[in-house]
Amino acid sequence: MISTIKGTKSGIGYHGIPHDQYFEEHEIILLDGKSFYMTSDGLTDQVGGENNRMFGKKRFQKILTEVEALPMAEQKERIWQELKKYQSNQNRRDDIAVVGFKI
């Protein structure tokens, strides 16, 4: 099961963003074997596929459910390969960051 925690919608490191920018805090219960993933919007907003549509959250979540039993290094490779395959010859639209870790 995948649960989503939405982050505060604000840029980081751009000119004009206050240094005391508020970010909402979330408390989560840590359970052995639980995995966590954080991604920038660059991944989900990447255009590609047959219809030149965004990669999207649902596609990312589907990949996560397919790779959840694999070691993190293999998960990284599968996510990267799926993105490259989807992106095909489309230009990268934004920076892409994905961070994953397991408790």
The yes-or-no verdict on residue 13 having pLDDT over 80 is: no
The predicted pLDDT at position 83 comes to 94
pTM of the model: 0.82
The predicted pLDDT at position 15 comes to 82
> What radius of gyration, in Å, describes the C-alpha atoms of the chain?
15
The predicted pLDDT at position 31 comes to 85
- The alpha carbon dihedral of 45, 49, 71, 5 has a sign of positive
What pLDDT, in 10s, does the model give residues 35-84? 999 998 899 999 999 899 999 999 999 999 999 999 999 999 999 999 99
The span from the CA of 4 to the CA of 48, in Å, is: 24
Instruction: Find all residues with CB under 8 Å of 68, minimum gap 6, and list them.
Output: 35, 75
